[in-house]
């Protein structure tokens, strides 16, 4: 009896597997590496929901990209590098693009994806020097890099101090990992240029323990604090800053440290906290209306649908939009709807999101226009500052989109990518 049941079970599972394999052939595959569990889940969930809702909306509204349905298998990484590798190997066949959503996994995938011929799109994170398309053929990090981010934050501080920050003290509270260390060199260069003192305060993974960090800040009284945090680290830092009564408008986070999840736990104390951003919050855009109509109203929202319109959800929409747009461009260039991963890369390299194109896509005034090219995989380099209003529970944009210190940043990018090219023996393209 038992053996019979076992046999039936096995046959059923074999059928299930073979049908799964067949299903995956015809469409465009956009594998997703997500983390809805672990210490980084509070940020990982809204972002992943944004992606899924956008893909579902495109499938429902336009019947896919140029008639090809989007497949978006999820693979849960828990923000762990080793699991990320497993997920990549599992999904890389015929995959258009990977969005690792983790600096560690991005560093892992850069050589692997380059060897396999798969596009990696790390939207505003990952390895900053990947902006140099001459060296990093398969890697894109548009629209803005961490080094732009660091110099935009310094520019904002400069503006608030009437252009003079000589002798001022700026502290950097950072996630003690490749991600958090990214801006250090830029900030060091800028500190020499503008004459401010830089104070480095690492916070170890996962970031719940920050007592010592904020005690130091209370003692040293820096004029400004910058933060490169992610996951629970953001919440704890903002709460700690509020509890030592650090002036919140002097506290600026990177774009990954400025979502609702980060400020809400600190309650009123978080009022006035600033962060950089490269996309607008809110739900007043055509794309949100479409998602509401085609996805949410049909009860197909990803997750519980509660993150609709939050900062990271909207960023997920933006990231997914760029990935879909790259496929559209690739289809146009190669004159076929059935694009290969190599054709997709050409599409990503020729993405041109002008203000007009953004409006057509339902993203009018949602993000600054940007454009990729053979040399430049880093986009426009534009970001703005937003500020949290704790009473209205809402982020407000307080500046225009601005450029970073491109003299400093471009020089550092050229240096770092040249180093990588020499190590890996890569010849420059686009010449």
For another protein, the closer of residues 82 and 406 by Cβ is: 82
CB 277 within 8 A of CB 384: yes
CB environment 285-309: b (16+ within 10 A), e (fewer)? bebbebbbebbbeeeebbbebebbb
Alpha helices, DSSP H, located in 117-145? none
Helix, coil or strand: residue 174: strand
CB 402 within 8 A of CB 383: yes
Q: What are phi and psi of 181, to 5 degrees?
A: -80, -15
Q: What are phi and psi of 174, to 5 degrees?
A: -135, 150
Least Å distance, CB 125 to another protein, is 12
- Six-digit token string for 41: 């889940």
Least Å distance, CB 242 to another protein, is 27
Least Å distance, CB 66 to another protein, is 27
Task: Assign 3-state DSSP to the chain and report helix, strand, coil percentages, each to 5.
Answer: 50, 15, 35
For another protein, the closer of residues 30 and 363 by Cβ is: 30
For another protein, the closer of residues 341 and 368 by Cβ is: 341
The separation between CA 408 and the C-alpha centre of its own chain, rounded to angstroms, equals: 23
For another protein, the closer of residues 92 and 239 by Cβ is: 92
Alpha-carbon distances of 127 from 198, 404, 429, rounded to whole Å: 22, 17, 19
Given the rule CB under 8 A, which residues bind another protein? 13, 16-17, 20, 34, 36-37, 73-76, 78, 80-83, 85-86, 89-90, 92, 103-104, 107-108, 110-112, 114-115, 127, 176-178, 181-182, 184-185, 204-205, 416, 423-424
Least Å distance, CB 115 to another protein, is 4
Taking each continuous run of H as one helix and of E as one strand, the counts in the chain are: 15, 17
For another protein, the closer of residues 148 and 325 by Cβ is: 148
Q: What are phi and psi of 344, to 5 degrees?
A: -60, -40
Least Å distance, CB 387 to another protein, is 30
Least Å distance, CB 90 to another protein, is 6
To the nearest 10°, report the CA torsion of 76, 383, 157, 406. Answer: 110
- Give the containing element (helix H, strand E) for 172: strand 169-175
CB 279 within 8 A of CB 46: no
For another protein, the closer of residues 79 and 366 by Cβ is: 79
Least Å distance, CB 234 to another protein, is 18
- Six-digit token string for 204: 């170890």
For another protein, the closer of residues 80 and 334 by Cβ is: 80
To the nearest 10°, report the CA torsion of 107, 402, 43, 294. Answer: -110
Least Å distance, CB 17 to another protein, is 7
For another protein, the closer of residues 122 and 386 by Cβ is: 122
Least Å distance, CB 357 to another protein, is 32
The separation between CA 371 and the C-alpha centre of its own chain, rounded to angstroms, equals: 17
CA 248 – CA 250 distance, rounded (Å): 5
Q: Collect all residues with Cβ–Cβ distance below 8 Å to 306 and sequence separation of at least 6.
A: none
Q: Collect all residues with Cβ–Cβ distance below 8 Å to 268 and sequence separation of at least 6.
A: 390, 391
For another protein, the closer of residues 61 and 80 by Cβ is: 80
For another protein, the closer of residues 251 and 420 by Cβ is: 420
Least Å distance, CB 12 to another protein, is 9
């Amino acid at each position: 009896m038992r053996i019979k049941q076992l046999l039936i079970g096995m046959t059923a599972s074999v059928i299930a597997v073979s049908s799964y394999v067949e299903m995956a052939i015809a469409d465009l595959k956009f594998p997703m590496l997500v983390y809805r569990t672990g210490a980084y889940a509070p940020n990982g969930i809204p972002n992943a929901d944004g992606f899924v809702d956008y893909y579902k909306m495109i499938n429902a509204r336009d019947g896919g990209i140029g008639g090809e349905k989007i497949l978006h298998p999820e693979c849960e990484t828990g923000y762990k590098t080793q699991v990320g590798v497993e997920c990549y190997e599992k999904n890389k066949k015929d995959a258009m693009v990977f969005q690792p959503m983790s600096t560690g996994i991005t560093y892992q995938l850069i050589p692997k994806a380059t060897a396999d011929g798969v596009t990696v799109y790390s939207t505003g994170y990952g390895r900053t020097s990947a902006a140099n398309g001459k060296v990093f053929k398969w890697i894109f990090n548009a629209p803005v890099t961490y080094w732009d981010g660091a110099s935009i934050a310094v520019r904002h501080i400069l503006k608030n101090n009437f252009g003079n920050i000589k002798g001022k003290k700026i502290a950097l509270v950072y996630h003690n990992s490749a991600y958090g260390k990214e801006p250090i060199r830029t900030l060091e260069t800028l500190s020499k240029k503008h004459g401010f003192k830089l104070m480095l305060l690492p916070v170890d993974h996962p970031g719940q323990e920050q007592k010592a960090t904020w005690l130091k800040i209370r003692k040293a009284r820096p004029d400004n604090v910058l933060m490169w945090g992610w996951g629970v680290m953001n919440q704890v830092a903002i709460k700690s800053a509020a509890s030592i009564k650090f002036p919140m408008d002097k506290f600026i986070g990177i774009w990954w440290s400025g979502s609702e999840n980060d400020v809400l736990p600190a309650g009123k104390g978080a009022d006035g906290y600033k962060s950089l951003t490269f996309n607008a919050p809110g739900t007043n855009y055509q794309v949100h209306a479409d998602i509401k109509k085609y996805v949410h109203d049909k009860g197909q929202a990803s997750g519980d649908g509660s993150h609709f319109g939050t900062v990271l959800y909207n960023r997920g929409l933006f990231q997914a939009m760029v990935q879909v747009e790259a496929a559209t461009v690739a289809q146009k260039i190669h004159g076929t709807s059935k694009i290969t991963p190599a054709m997709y890369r050409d599409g990503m390299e020729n993405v041109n999101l002008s203000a007009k194109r953004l409006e057509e896509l339902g993203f009018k005034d949602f993000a600054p226009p940007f454009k990729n090219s053979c040399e430049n995989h880093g986009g426009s380099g534009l970001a703005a500052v937003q500020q949290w209003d704790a009473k209205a529970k809402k982020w407000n944009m307080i500046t225009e989109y601005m450029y970073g210190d491109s003299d400093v940043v471009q020089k550092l990018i050229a240096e770092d990518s040249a180093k990588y090219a020499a190590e890996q023996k890569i010849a420059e393209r686009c010449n």
